[in-house]
Homo-oligomer: A and B are copies of this chain.
Amino acid sequence: MKMTLDCIPCFIRQALDAARMVSDDPSVHAKILNEVLQWACSVDLQQPAPVIGQRIHRRLRQIVGVDDPYRSAKDHQNRMALAMLPDLRRRIESASDPFDMAMRTAIAGNVIDLGVPGSVTEESIRISIEKCLSEPLIGDPAQFWSAVEKAKKILYITDNAGEIVFDRLLIEKLGPSRVTVAVRGAPAINDATMADAVAAGLDQIVEVIDNGSDAPGTLLSECSSEFRQRFNEADLIVAKGQGNFETLSDEPGNIYFLFKVKCRVVSEHAQIELGSHVVVSRDLYATACPL
């Protein structure tokens, strides 16, 4: 999906917040803000918003001279999620519908976003899980499970660190033997990379590949040829998070998006209420919103 004018003040705000997360130096904050304002003057609204996120975070890493400024935040998010894993696994196994419960848990994990230690607490994750378990999911979970049943090759595109631990619970239910997990090829905010897949133990149960890109989403044209080949070969793609929705919603494929709706632009484009937990087919969505 394309960005809108509303994305502009939002990514300027995000650039300032991100600068403060990775540096205490006010001159760094002013520098990135000024550069982003200049980019914004000539932004191409035909692009999906994660293109701008990629540019901001790439430049921030360059300015502060740190390859992965969110590494400690991601480690914290993984540890927090791993501590919750045994209890969540027990809940899933004792649920009346363990498949539904595993899917909801993975979607609930999408609350872990752009967090630094302290900003996403175990408490906020628990609240998200309970909300995601008690409220109706938007979309068509039954159609999703029907697609899973038929699939031979599933490509599971992860979103954030921490969240990837919750993804493991769903991946176990999907049947690891036919699943390939994809992570980002290089750091992008707190998006999961190979280190996070390893922290979640995913490398022990499935093949994990990276997509060769540092965008906080999946910009196919920038991904490695290996990733694109897997994308094309998969008969089912599970894409987690808003960034993947924003970058893949116009791409062809049997794609299911599992995420929490976190911004007004996505909410309006997808015609789904802000804060909703969704499992939505790319085709179903394309029919409902022929943009």
Contact = CB atoms under 8 A, between A and B. Distances in A.
Interface of A: 5-6, 8-10, 12-13, 16, 26, 29-30, 33-34, 37-38, 40-41
A50 to B, nearest CB: 18
> A-B pairs with the 5 shortest C-beta distances?
A9-B13, A9-B12, A37-B41, A37-B40, A9-B9
A52 to B, nearest CB: 13
A8 B29 contact: no
Number of copies: 2
Name the residue among A9, A13, A33, A41 with the largest chain B CB count within 10 angstroms: A9
Contacts of A26: 5
A26 B6 CA distance: 12
Nearest to A45: B30
- Would you call the interface of chain A mostly helix, strand, loop, or mixed? helix
A43 to B, nearest CB: 9
Contacts of A12: 8-9, 12
Contacts of A10: 9, 13
Contacts of A33: 5, 8
Contacts of A29: 5
Contacts of A38: 41
B5 A9 contact: no
A55 to B, nearest CB: 15
Given A5-B26, A6-B16, 10 more contacts: A5-B16, A8-B12, A8-B37, A9-B9, A9-B10, A9-B13, A9-B16, A34-B41, A37-B40, A41-B41
A34 B40 CA distance: 8
Contacts of A30: 5
Contacts of A37: 8, 37, 40-41
Nearest to A40: B37
A248 to B, nearest CB: 26
